[in-house]
Chain A
Amino acid sequence: MTALASSIPPSWYLLLASAIFCIGLFGVLTRRSALYFLMSVELMMNAANINFVAFALYYGDLTGQVFALFVIALAAAEVAIGIGIILVLYRNFGTTDVTVPAEMRW
Chain B
Amino acid sequence: MVNGLPAVTALLPALLLAVTGLALLLVDTIRPDARSNTSMAVVGAVGSLAALAATVWLTASGGVSPDGGAVLLFADTVKVDTLALFFTAIFASVTALVLVAAHDYFHDHANPAAFYSLVTFAATGMALLAVANSLAVVFVALEMVSLPSYVLVAYLKQDRGSVEAGMKYFLVGALSSAVFLFGISLVYAATGSLILADIASASIDGLAGVLGVGVVMMIGGVAFKTASVPFHFWAPEAYEGAPAPVSAFLSSASKAAGFVVAFRVFTEAFPLEMAVSANVDWMLSFAVLAAVTMTLGNFAAAVQEEVKRMLAYSSIGHAGYALIGVAALTVDGPANGTVMGAAMAHLLVYGFMNTGAFLFVAMAERWGVGRTFADYAGLWRRAPVASVAMAVFMFSLAGLPPFAGFFSKYFLFQAAIDNGFLWLAGLGAINSVVSLYYYSRVVKALFLDDPESPSALDAIDVRPTALYAAVVFAAVATVLLLPGFGPVIETAEAAASALF
Spell out A's residues near B (CB within 8 Å): 10, 14, 17, 21, 24, 28, 34, 37-38, 41, 44-45, 47-49, 51-52, 54-55, 58-59, 61, 63-64, 66-67, 70-71, 74, 77-78, 81-82, 84-86, 88-89, 91-93, 98, 101-104, 106
Query: Which residues in chain B, 107-156, are within 8 Å of chain A measured between CB atoms?
Result: 136, 139-140, 143, 147, 150-151, 154
**Residue pair B167, A77 in contact (C-beta under 8 Å):** no
Q: How far is the CB of A86 from chain B (nearest CB, A)?
A: 7
A70-B136, A103-B241 known; A93 and B160 CB under 8 Å? yes
* A74 cross-chain contacts in B, Cβ below 8 A: 139-140, 143, 147
- 12 additional A-B residue pairs with CB within 8 Å, beyond A71-B139, A104-B241: A17-B185, A41-B178, A51-B188, A67-B188, A70-B136, A70-B140, A74-B147, A81-B147, A85-B166, A92-B157, A101-B164, A104-B240
Q: Does B360 contact A (CB under 8 A)?
A: no
CA A91 to CA B167, docked complex, whole Å = 13
Pairwise interchain contact A89-B167, C-beta atoms closer than 8 A:
yes
Chain B interface residues (CB < 8 Å from chain A):
136, 139-140, 143, 147, 150-151, 154, 157-158, 160-161, 163-168, 170-171, 174-175, 177-179, 181-182, 184-186, 188-189, 192-194, 210, 233, 236-237, 240-241, 309
Q: Contact: A63 with B160, CB < 8 Å?
A: no
Chain B minimum-CB-distance residue to A45: B178
Within 8 Å CB of A17, what residues of B? 182, 185
A-B pairs, 8 with minimum CB distance: A51-B185, A44-B178, A59-B192, A48-B185, A101-B164, A48-B181, A74-B143, A48-B182
Whether the pair B189, A98 counts as a contact (CB closer than 8 A) is no
A45 near B237 with CB under 8 A, answer no
Contact across chains for A28 and B175 when beta carbons are under 8 A apart: yes
Shortest Cβ distance from residue A45 to the other chain B in the assembled complex, whole angstroms:
5
List of B residues within 8 angstroms of A58 by Cβ: 192
Closest A residue to B193 using CB positions:
A63
What are some 14 contacts across the A-B interface (CB < 8 A)? A28-B175, A37-B174, A44-B179, A49-B185, A66-B136, A74-B139, A74-B140, A78-B177, A82-B150, A91-B157, A92-B158, A93-B163, A104-B240, A106-B236
| B241: chain A residues within 8 A (beta carbon) | 103-104
- Report Cα–Cα, A67/B230, bound state, in Å: 28
Quick check: A92 and B160 within 8 Å, CB to CB? yes
B174 close to A34 (CB less than 8 A): no
Cross-chain contact A37 with B171 (CB below 8 angstroms): yes
In whole angstroms, what is the CA distance A21 to B166 when docked? 25
A44 touches B182 (CB 8 A): yes
